[in-house]
Amino acid sequence: MLKKHELVFILSFLTPTLALFGIFTLYPYFNGLKMSFYEWSGFSDVTTFVGLDNFKRMLDDDIIPMTLKHNLYIMLAVPIFSFIFALFNAVAISQFKLKESKWYRALLFVPYVLPVTITAILWQNMLGGDYGLVTSILGWFGIHLDYPLLGNPDTALWALCVPMIWSVVGFYMVLYLTAINNIDESLMEAASIDGASQWDKVRYITIPLIWETIRVTLVLFILGAFNYSFALPWIMTDGGPARSTEFIATYMYRVAQNDHEYGYATAIGVFIFIIATGLSLLSQILTRKSKLD
């Protein structure tokens, strides 16, 4: 049982944290949920309760399924490439024990700590019009583009995946590398003696033994597909051209900022919350080890 002076001490240390966390982190989530049942222009004090109208409106909004399709594309493309690169690098660094490994780790991690705005502008220039480096490199291979990659509705979405992958490969690589370094080395040696190929070792030893780390990164991949699909497209393409890079999050912000329909915007936010959290939970349920064995 706590003594009175202990209780005073605990409260004096906890109250400021709880107040700040409650007001600036928890309250917005609950208020967002509440606002999704209201209609509000942001200018007056008049908020009107509209029940589920905002959610019904989403069903008739043609832009929502379009943005969800874009989100789905990047939720598949970005994790698949990030995972392949990150795991390849991690296995390569741990297996081959290259003397410059430290440098690869240090350099490949850099994009993860860069401000997202820098990444966006850098890649806007790299992928950009007449002088973009990527355009030049494609030119060496005989591929001549009529439009810049980011300015063409057919390619803009895929071009956006490049900076998204670029910024996270190093991060996931370090996560996998840490997990791989915890694997008992004698396992790998035994497998080599038995004549297992490099691929067999990855498939039957590395992946199963770092499975828990891979599961966690699944959640990060899913949340990332929603969180990272805001700032990069917002800065690099502004959702264009012809809405080909409009995502659910950029659309949500557009509804709030341009149309001042805060009720509808938060309803879209609640929808994002539900699918992102739902998919994260689903990924954890589907990948439970007992189910796979």
Partner 1 sequence: MGSANHFLGRWIVRLILAVQAVAVVYPLLWTIYSSFKTRTDFYRNPWLLPSRIEFSNYYNALIKSKFFESFFNSIYVSVLSVALIIILSSTTAFILTRYKFFGASFIHKIMMLSLFLPSVFALIPTFLLMMELNLLNKLSGLVLVYAAGGLPMSIFILAGFFKHLDTSFEESALLDGSSATNTYWKIIFPIAMPGIVVIGILNIISVWNEYPLAMAILSSPEKKTVAVNIVDLSTIQRFATDWGALFAGLVIAMLPVLIIYFIFQNKLIAGLTAGATKG
Of the pair 243, 254, the CB lying nearest partner 1 is at 254
Quick check: 51 and 37 in contact, CB under 8 A? yes
Taking the complex as a whole, how short is the minimal distance between the CB of residue 85 and partner 1, in angstroms? 7
Of the pair 74, 108, the CB lying nearest partner 1 is at 108
Taking the complex as a whole, how short is the minimal distance between the CB of residue 140 and partner 1, in angstroms? 12
In the numeric block, which tokens belong to residue 14? Answer: 């906890």
**Ramachandran angles phi, psi of 99, nearest 5°:** -70, -20
Taking the complex as a whole, how short is the minimal distance between the CB of residue 258 and partner 1, in angstroms? 13
Of the pair 33, 77, the CB lying nearest partner 1 is at 33
What is the identity of the amino acid at 241? P
Taking the complex as a whole, how short is the minimal distance between the CB of residue 9 and partner 1, in angstroms? 4
Of the pair 21, 49, the CB lying nearest partner 1 is at 21
DSSP at 247: -
Taking the complex as a whole, how short is the minimal distance between the CB of residue 187 and partner 1, in angstroms? 17
Would you say the C-alpha torsion 178, 183, 189, 193 has a positive or negative sign? negative
Quick check: 165 and 196 in contact, CB under 8 A? no
The SS3 assignment for 39 reads strand
SS3 content of the chain, % helix, strand, coil (to 5): 75, 0, 25
Q: What is the CA radius of gyration of the chain?
A: 24
Of the pair 14, 76, the CB lying nearest partner 1 is at 14
